[in-house]
Amino acid sequence: MVQFYSPNRRSVNRSIISVTADNLDAQGQGIARHQGKTIFIPGLLPGEQAQVQLTEEKRQFAKAKVVKRLSDSPLRVNPRCPHFKMCGGCQQQHAAPELQVKTKASVLEHLIQRETGISISAQPVIHSPEYGYRRRARLGLQYHDKQGKLVMGFRQSQTNDLVDIRHCPVMRPELEKLLQPLSLCLSSLKVAKRLGHVELVLADNGPLVVLRHLAPIKHEDKEMLRDFARQYQVVIYLAGDEKSLEALSPEIGQFEPWYQVDGLKLVFSPQDFIQVNDEVNQKMVAQALSWLDVQPEDRILDLFCGMGNFTLPIAVKAKAVVGVEGVAALVASGQYNARLNGLSNVTFFHENLESDIRQQPWAAQGFNKVLLDPARAGAAGVMSHIVKLAPEKVVYVSCNPTTLARDSKVLLEAGYHLVSVRMLDMFPHTGHLESMALFSR
């Protein structure tokens, strides 16, 4: 076989070198310098010295693994999870919470300063419980023919293999205690080889399980699942595809999962997106309401509104609120919840905010304040329209600091001021960085 030379192909020097980490990145990797090159090293904390071996080398940076740690930081702690280092779900359980929070806030501040030229503090942070915060989790399912075993768990870092999860201390305890018995139950099903994944969700009125299956589930398997549901007081839903659900617990009546936010009751479908961290969500909504300074005469626009997590609490205080969302099921949930909570001043639109919005019906209306909560890709398609609306205040909730910094420039160039930024500790022990920013005209 002919092999062609690639000028980008670089051989990696596998020799062992000694380095000292001087910082962390948002993913929890130690950052060290060696011969003028930045090296990223998983598992190494600032101030720690280690012998490391390069695993990847680029022109500007390299990656390495720890061969032997020579010193320990006072901010190194013992991970609570027995699967840490194998499971790819958490990357930072070895770092003290105060170091994690400080690092993420610093990364956010750096990105905003680099992209906008504005130096601003991301403090005070909206804090989370260190463990037991996750009220929703999706676990993969893989059947191993050789062992005759179904593995239920999260993916290992940088592989498609699953770690067989028996404990997960970042989950709410009500969900964590289901892991072992649920794994045993699913392993005993006749359809075990044809299961896709399972989702555990904790609503305010109880836990539920959504089982994705790739083949029909026969009567005998359904009876086993019903027995599990009765024994562990959960509601089980079967998802034969991404749209249809079959509830397996008819004896409990018409179960509707719901959660509360700002005193309102929000009913959701088991497949609807809800914020994973309830405590941070409550604080985040309260902060948004405070920043918007909602008044009885306000007309407020909520873009990428989901099922109304912000929209409905805003509607309690404003004259009128319009929510725009691209997922039809979430729009339906928002409309249902508006009626449920007696809010008649809310209008939801199902529109694609990544397409040309000029002809969308909501775009012809006027608003004096705007909130937006886009996905990781950000909100490039709507920023110019927000500027045209000329709202007094804009609150931007972000799950990606890079796109937040990028979109901020549109508002700043239009004469808005970046008043405040806060880092949200939505996902402790992970590299996910959530934030929110307030702009004023």
Catalytically active residues are: 399
Q: Is 120 exposed, middle or buried (0-12, 13-18, 19+ CB in 10 A)?
A: middle
Give the tokens for residue 371: 């909130």
Distances from the Cα of 231 to the Cα of 181, 182, 223, 227, 235, angstroms = 10, 11, 12, 6, 11
Query: 305: annotated binding-site residue?
Result: no
Please tell me the distance from the alpha carbon of residue 374 to that of residue 387, in angstroms, as a whole number: 17
Please tell me the distance from the alpha carbon of residue 66 to that of residue 327, in angstroms, as a whole number: 44
Query: 61: annotated binding-site residue?
Result: no
Helix pair 401-413, 380-389: axis angle to 10 deg: 30
Please tell me the distance from the alpha carbon of residue 284 to that of residue 347, in angstroms, as a whole number: 22
Q: Count how many residues are written for the chain.
A: 441
Please tell me the distance from the alpha carbon of residue 341 to that of residue 98, in angstroms, as a whole number: 39
Cβ pair 391, 369 in contact under 8 A: yes
Question: Which residue type sits at 265?
Answer: K
Distant-in-sequence, close-in-space partners of 410: CB < 8 Å, separation ≥ 6: 383, 384, 386, 387
Strand partners, 237: 210, 247
Instruction: Give the CA dihedral 372, 377, 380, 382, nearest 10 degrees.
Output: -40
Please tell me the distance from the alpha carbon of residue 53 to that of residue 94, in angstroms, as a whole number: 20
Query: 231: annotated binding-site residue?
Result: no
Query: 98: annotated binding-site residue?
Result: no
Please tell me the distance from the alpha carbon of residue 320 to that of residue 26, in angstroms, as a whole number: 39
Query: 352: annotated binding-site residue?
Result: yes
Query: 185: annotated binding-site residue?
Result: no
Q: CB neighbours (10 Å) of residue 118?
A: 16
Write the DSSP assignment of 263-320 as a string of letters.
TEEEE--TTS---SBHHHHHHHHHHHHHHHT--TT-EEEEES-TTTTTHHHHHTTSSE
Please tell me the distance from the alpha carbon of residue 213 to that of residue 79, in angstroms, as a whole number: 34
Instruction: Give the CA dihedral 268, 272, 273, 275, nearest 10 degrees.
Output: 20
The binding site for [4Fe-4S] cluster comprises 81, 87, 90, 168
The binding site comprises 81, 87, 90, 168, 275, 304, 309, 325, 352, 373
The binding site for S-adenosyl-L-methionine comprises 275, 304, 309, 325, 352, 373
